[in-house]
Structure formats: C-alpha cells, structure tokens
Amino acid sequence: MMKKKSLQGSNIQLSHGSGGIQSQILITELFYKHLKGSIVGMGEDAGIGEIKNKMAISTDGYTISPLFFPGGDIGKLAVCGSCNDIAMMGAKAKYLTASFMIEEGFLIKDLEKILESFSKYLKESGAKLISGDTKVLPKGALDKIFITTTAFGEVLYPNLSAFKIPEDTAILLSGDIGDHGAIIYSTREGIDLQSNLQSDCALLYPMLQPLFENDIKIYALRDATRGGIAGVLNEWANASNIGITIEENKLPIKDEVKGICELLGFEAYNLANEGMCVLSIAKEDSKKALEILHKTQNGKNAQMIGYTHNHHPKSVILQTDYGSKRFLEYPSGELLPRIC
C-alpha cells in the first residue's frame, strides 16, 4: 500500500531521489504542482508525442552560477536556452524534456522558485514537458542544482544552416551584446553596478516568427551564447567558407556593458548572450527585416552590423571607426565558466 506522507522539512534529502515513496512525494507535491497543465504522459517510462514532418532537436546542460541573477534564474534559462536552439533551425518548441540533478540539502523553497520560473517560461514557449528525471546526489557531489533540457519542435522555416551562407548577405544582430555575460560576472563578483542591467535571457521564437511569416530570406540564425558573437561569426565563416566583415561602431552595446568590459579587460563580442541572435539575411530583405524586428519586444535594438563576402574566406574582419581593420579571432582561453 502506498503510504500517504507529505514533503517534510525544508531541504531536499537523499531519499527524494531514491526511486521509492519519497521520490513519488517530491514529484507529485513539487514538480506536478508547479507544472500541471504543461505535462503530457506522466507516470510512464517515456512520454508519447507526435511531430509531423521534420523536427529540430537540441539538448543543453545548464550549470549557471549564481542560480538567481538579475533578469532570470536557472529555471528560465533551461527553458529558453533549449527552445532558442531549435528556434535557430526555424522550429517552435512543441515538447521539452528536463533532467534535474539536485544536491542533498538544497532548499525546497529555492527549488520551488526555480520550478515556478521554469513553468512560467514553459507556458510562454507553448511546449509541453514530455519526460522528466530527478536525481538527488550526496552533499558535495555537485554544486546545488544542474538542469539538462532537450527541446524539439516541427521545422516551420526549413533550410537554415551554418554551412550554406552565401557571400553578399547582410549580417544582423537582434539586440545588444554582452548583457548576460556582464551581469553574471558582476553578480558573481559582487560588483555593484548601480544600474538596471539585466540578463537578456528570453525566448526568441516570438521575435523570429514574424520574419518567418513575412518571407524574409534568412540563410542562418544562431544565438550567441558561450563564445559570444565572435564565436558564432567565426563558426559561420569556417562552416560556409566565407569572409565576414563587421563594422565595430555598429555593434549595439549598452554603456554599462562597455564599462564592465573596460574595467575587467573583456571584449563584449566574446561575452555570452541568452536572448539575442545573429542573422544572415538576403541583403535586399535586410531593411524589411529590421523594420519587423524593431516592432518586437526583443528585437527593438536590432542592427545591421556587417556582411558576408568571398575575400578572406574563413575569416572575420573587424573594421574599426578609424578605417583600420583587424581579424576578429575565435574566443580563446577560459573566458567565464558556468555562464549558462
């Protein structure tokens, strides 16, 4: 007989991950409570779903520190990050899976805050949670909580690819760069910014949908997370064997982010972002694309920053305000660990 007990105490215990009665209580009283309405197929070994036509699939592990930061938390990040990855392939998320790894002793009220946020953005994404897993590890086996999500959805705007970008396309950014990296760094180091800088963490599909629906010719999309836009642009240049020239003075960077970069010796183009993307778009469509983006919440600072060409294949060239040029290299070294 299943004994009726309830979640006791204020901390997660090892027994909550044992696969026995206490696991059931944790799942029912915490996960189901916060996620009801967004779950399909609970209580089975696997969820059953259906996606007609081609689907995009992406997985990511989230280990960010601190767990809560201005503009988001690990729960919001775990939903937005994986949904954004499939949005970059022209897909709207339909299903999400989530695996939680939790350290023994983790505060139940913090887990609830994370689940509330996870649930909020899952609803906003329109996706359903189709499979989940919870592991509890002994104290010291991991730092607090990690979440791995896998998103999948039908490809509604097909043929986007990092490998097929032609020369003579426009390179756009959908928003300011470096906000996420700068705020995580500042929060972690206890730097008081005296500003309202927040992570840009957001779902990107709603911003892209009007581009897809207005027949804008897009060749590639990529959210500039770890490695920043310098990483994305170098990956594209290499994958498509093209050159990319960027005008430095067109890079949209907030003053606070510039300040942090100057203070700490970072470059904004290497910093992680969680709510903006790089776009390669047919030049003739770039003006219309910007008009459309500027009407969206997350695209209001969108900017055309450069173009692709057939000189210097596999290279990214940064053109400075004074007409001088230099290569924008792949980010190198440690950068900032646990940024996402």
- The token duo for 27 is 């799942």
φ, ψ of residue 70 to 5 degrees: the values are -55, 120
Residue 145 forms beta bridges with which residues?
102
Residue 244 beta carbon to its own copies: minimum distance, rounded to whole angstroms? 12
Residue 152 forms beta bridges with which residues?
57, 95
Q: Which of 73, 222, 244, 275 binds its own copies (CB under 8 A)?
A: 222
Q: Which of 20, 258, 311, 320 binds its own copies (CB under 8 A)?
A: 20
Residues 148-207 binding its own copies (CB under 8 A) are 148, 150-152, 155, 161-163
Q: Does 11 bind its own copies (CB under 8 A)?
A: no
Please, are residues 235 and 253 in contact by the beta-carbon 8 Å criterion? no
Residue 280 beta carbon to its own copies: minimum distance, rounded to whole angstroms? 13
Q: Does 88 bind its own copies (CB under 8 A)?
A: yes
Cβ-based nearer residue to its own copies, 45 or 192: 45
Q: Does 57 bind its own copies (CB under 8 A)?
A: yes
Sequence-distant contacts of 12-19: CB under 8 A, at least 24 apart: 12/102, 12/103, 12/104, 12/105, 12/106, 12/107, 12/108, 12/111, 12/136, 13/104, 13/136, 14/104, 14/136, 14/138, 15/136, 16/102, 16/134, 16/136, 17/102, 17/134, 17/135, 17/136, 17/137, 18/136
Cβ-based nearer residue to its own copies, 227 or 275: 227
- The CA distance from 316 to 19, in Å, is 51
- The CA distance from 244 to 139, in Å, is 48
Residues 301-330 binding its own copies (CB under 8 A) are 314-315, 327, 329-330
Distant-in-sequence, close-in-space partners of 298: CB < 8 Å, separation ≥ 6: 174, 175, 200, 202, 204, 206, 207, 275, 276
Residue 226 beta carbon to its own copies: minimum distance, rounded to whole angstroms? 3
Q: Which of 69, 118, 146, 157 binds its own copies (CB under 8 A)?
A: 146
Residue 75 beta carbon to its own copies: minimum distance, rounded to whole angstroms? 16
Q: Does 333 bind its own copies (CB under 8 A)?
A: yes
Q: Which of 56, 127, 202, 281 binds its own copies (CB under 8 A)?
A: 56
Piece of 90-98, 193-201, 205-213, 290-298 that binds its own copies (CB under 8 A): 90-98
Q: Which of 30, 74, 98, 292 binds its own copies (CB under 8 A)?
A: 98
Q: Does 235 bind its own copies (CB under 8 A)?
A: yes
Residues 239-278 binding its own copies (CB under 8 A) are 239, 270, 272
**First-to-final CA distance of the chain:** 43
Q: Does 91 bind its own copies (CB under 8 A)?
A: yes
